[in-house]
């Protein structure tokens, strides 16, 4: 009998996932809703005449995400395993649909959204999870190939390359970096040889360099970033493409250690564009202070660390697909946290990348909740089924459902 369909006892049926992971996710979700609302009040009044316009929409997205998360928690991991190849194909389809005139919607020069009734779906958010699911399937099914042969390195990267190409056409450089980093991290945890990992990182790094030097707006961002490192408040930066970063740094400076008070931000009123999306962390720093930002980052790191720990438990018990999927989701969260934080404090060039749980955006919030639900389901099945029996020779445990 498959370890994924093993019966469980009545005493185990009321386990809803790791309590610590669930608590940390709930805290981040609640805090994010409060701070997104505070950061968006002024722009909501200007655009919609309703100070709680973005709060209402974000709350509706949260409810939809919770509903989808409940569905995910109730369905076994074998469904993800058996659908992994189909999900990769759907990632291709979603990213192609974005580029079809009449279906895709362009905002600030980027075509990343599919217009749906009352809602715009950001295809990259869905594609990232689907690629991670497929990579987990490949690593669990072909573990020995990954560890012993160059084919195990080439196959997943070749199958992922159309997704990377489509993301770059949109363009969505930030999502590309996060996804590539997560996949490379999964390959590393799957046991790929260090030489192949360095080779892959070099190829992707070279591709990133070419993408920057052959794109005027990316090259301008890089040049502005280099100027910012020398003087973030020079006229060339403040009145050029470094305006957002300069205003974000002002927000951090105004907040000092303890902030100016919830709702009292000046930067969100007229100065900092996208204050409720990509730069919500700067508003948190201004209103609640640097100390609160540090506490928030610790909460994020605790959440990611707990997710990695739960994934490690599954690997130790032989549930490889669940383990690699958990690793991949954890790395997605870590990548977005690091890049968004680095953008807000000027450590990397400005990128349009949301902060999970906190930034405004339906697709981001819904997929964040869905990924948390996947992590909870992974832990539920580990709790229910415990250690599986020994694998048959030549066949890794947990590689099939």
The model's pLDDT over 224-250, given as tens digits with 9 standing for 90+, comes to 777 776 677 776 667 666 788 888 888
pLDDT in the model for residue 3: 40
Residue 148: CB atoms within 10 Å? 12
Nearest CA to 18 among 373, 294, 340, 289? Answer: 373
**How large is the greatest C-alpha to C-alpha distance in the chain, in angstroms?**
69
d(CA 91, CA 111): 16
What integer best gives the mean pLDDT of the chain? 84
pLDDT in the model for residue 333: 97
Structure tokens of 36? 């997104």
- Residues 6+ away with beta carbon under 8 Å from 232: 242, 245, 246, 249, 346
Q: What is the pLDDT of residues 38-96, one digit of tens each?
A: 999 988 888 888 899 999 999 999 999 999 999 999 999 999 999 999 999 999 999 99
d(CA 206, CA 248): 30
pLDDT in the model for residue 312: 94
pLDDT in the model for residue 33: 95
- Give the chain's radius of gyration (CA, Å): 22
Q: What is the pLDDT of residues 130-170, one digit of tens each?
A: 999 999 999 999 888 888 888 878 888 888 888 988 888 88
Q: What is the pLDDT of residues 197-206, one digit of tens each?
A: 888 888 877 8
pLDDT in the model for residue 105: 75
Q: What is the pLDDT of residues 173-184, one digit of tens each?
A: 888 889 999 999
Q: What is the pLDDT of residues 331-383, one digit of tens each?
A: 999 999 999 999 898 888 777 788 999 999 889 999 999 999 999 999 999 88
Residue 113, beta-bridge partner list:
105, 122
d(CA 244, CA 37): 20
- Which residue did the predictor score with more confidence, 173 or 305? 305
pLDDT in the model for residue 11: 41
- Residues 6+ away with beta carbon under 8 Å from 203: none
Residue 356 backbone zone (phi > 0: left; psi -120 to 50: alpha; other: beta) = beta
Strands, sheet with 104-107, edge to edge from the N-terminal-most edge strand: 104-107, 110-116, 119-122
Structure tokens of 197? 């990992």
What does DSSP say about strands 104-107 and 110-116: parallel, antiparallel, or unpaired?
A: antiparallel
Helix (H) / strand (E) containing 342: helix 320-345
d(CA 149, CA 128): 26
Domain ranges of the chain: 28-385
State yes or no: pLDDT of 396 exceeds 60: no
């Amino acid at each position: 009998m498959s370890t994924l369909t093993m019966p469980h006892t009545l005493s185990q049926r009321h386990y809803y996932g790791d309590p610590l992971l669930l608590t940390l996710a709930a805290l981040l979700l609640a805090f994010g809703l409060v701070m997104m609302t505070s950061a968006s009040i002024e722009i909501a009044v200007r655009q919609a005449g309703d100070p709680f316009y973005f709060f209402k929409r974000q709350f509706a997205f949260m409810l939809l995400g919770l509903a989808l998360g409940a569905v995910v928690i109730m369905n076994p991991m074998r469904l993800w395993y058996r659908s992994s190849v189909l999900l990769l194909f759907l990632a291709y389809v979603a990213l192609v649909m974005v580029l079809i005139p009449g279906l895709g919607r362009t905002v600030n020069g980027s075509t990343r959204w599919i217009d749906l009734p009352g809602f715009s779906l950001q295809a990259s958010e869905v594609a990232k999870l689907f690629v991670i699911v497929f990579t987990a399937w490949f690593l669990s099914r072909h573990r020995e190939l990954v560890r012993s042969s160059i084919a195990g390195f080439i196959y997943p990267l070749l199958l992922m390359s159309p997704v990377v190409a489509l993301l770059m056409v949109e363009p969505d450089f930030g999502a590309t970096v996060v996804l590539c980093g997560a996949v490379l991290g999964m390959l590393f945890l799957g046991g790929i040889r260090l030489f192949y990992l360095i080779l892959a990182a070099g190829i992707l790094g070279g591709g990133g360099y070419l993408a920057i030097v052959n794109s005027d707006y990316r090259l301008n961002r890089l040049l502005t970033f280099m100027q910012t490192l020398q003087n973030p408040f020079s006229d060339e930066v403040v009145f050029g493409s470094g305006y957002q970063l300069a205003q974000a740094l002002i927000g951090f400076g105004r907040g000092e250690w303890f902030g100016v008070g919830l709702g009292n931000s000046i930067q969100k009123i007229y100065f900092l564009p996208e204050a409720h999306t990509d730069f919500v962390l700067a508003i948190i720093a201004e209103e609640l202070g640097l100390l609160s930002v540090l506490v928030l980052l610790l909460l994020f790191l605790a959440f990611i660390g707990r997710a990695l720990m739960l994934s490690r438990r599954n690997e130790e018990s032989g549930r490889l697909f669940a383990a690699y999927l958990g690793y991949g989701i954890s790395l997605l969260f870590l990548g977005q946290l690091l890049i968004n934080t680095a953008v807000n404090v000027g450590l990397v060039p400005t990128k349009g990348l949301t902060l999970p749980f906190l930034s405004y955006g339906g697709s981001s919030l819904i997929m964040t909740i869905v990924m948390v639900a996947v992590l909870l389901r992974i832990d539920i099945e580990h709790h229910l089924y415990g250690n599986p029996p020994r694998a048959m020779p030549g066949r890794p445990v947990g590689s099939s459902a």
